[in-house]
Amino acid sequence: MRIATTLFATLALVASTVIAAPDNKHGGKDNKNAPLVINKRVLRTSSVPFIPHTGTGLFTNWVGLNVDFKYIQPVFQKVNTTAALGNGTLISRGESHITVILPPEYDNILSKVNITMQELNALATKNNRLQRAHFDIECLGRVQAVTQPGNVFQQSVQLIVKNYKDILAYRTDVFKLFVKKGGNPALFAAENYQPHITLGFKNRDLFVEDGVFKGKNACIHKVQLK
């Protein structure tokens, strides 16, 4: 059943890419191939406070690297006013981050060996470790799928992250803690990870469970930091 669901989502992704492919018939003076310009200060997250994400319900516990939204908001506005991408239909969360430990990873794996969010947050904030992490931006990415029930077309647009060895080092230390507490090493892979900064989405965000992957594979447009 899981295989069938994933296959459907993948086929839907291909179909929806055709549905929403940019219209290149009207090329012109706006230079659609010009890189999307982003303020390079977006990479300076050490001065941005770490925000803990803890809760009592499913999908309320996760670890993120907080990104200054004032540098992301103009990028979202540019994307959302581009006919082939947003056309005014994308929803912004009004904040920006790179998810480092995903909610399902905590709920389904880490919490099962009694790793607490307090432990994960302490590991992230020691010497301001996570907020000082270096990373770069690969491209503007987009994922699409038609989801059930209701045959709903979904779209999510994000900045794909690259050169994130500091973030990966944090996930590796979480893996070591997981194994130390008796966790099965086969259940958590630090490198099985595709960091990104979500800009906005149509209807709802999309995840790997929908059959989409937010890595370099999803790149649709170049970016330039300056």
Task: Indicate if the pLDDT at residue 8 is higher than 60.
Answer: no
Q: Measure the CA–CA gap between 111 and 61, rounded to whole angstroms.
A: 10
pLDDT of residue 122: 98
Task: Indicate if the pLDDT at residue 105 is higher than 50.
Answer: yes
pLDDT of residue 33: 82
pLDDT one-digit tens code per residue, 151-206: 999 999 999 999 999 999 999 999 999 999 999 999 999 999 999 999 999 999 99
- Least confident stretch, 25-34, 35-44, 106-115, 145-154: 25-34
Helices and strands (H, E) in the chain, number of each type: 5, 8
For residues 167 and 133, is the Cβ–Cβ distance under 8 A?
Answer: yes
Residue type, 176: K
Task: Indicate if the pLDDT at residue 18 is higher than 80.
Answer: no
Task: Indicate if the pLDDT at residue 22 is higher than 60.
Answer: no
pLDDT of residue 31: 64
Average pLDDT over residues 39-67: 97
Percent of the chain with pLDDT over 90: 84
Where is pLDDT greater, at 23 or 38? 38
pLDDT of residue 91: 97
- Residue 101 burial by CB count (10 A; 0-12/13-18/19+): exposed, middle or buried? buried
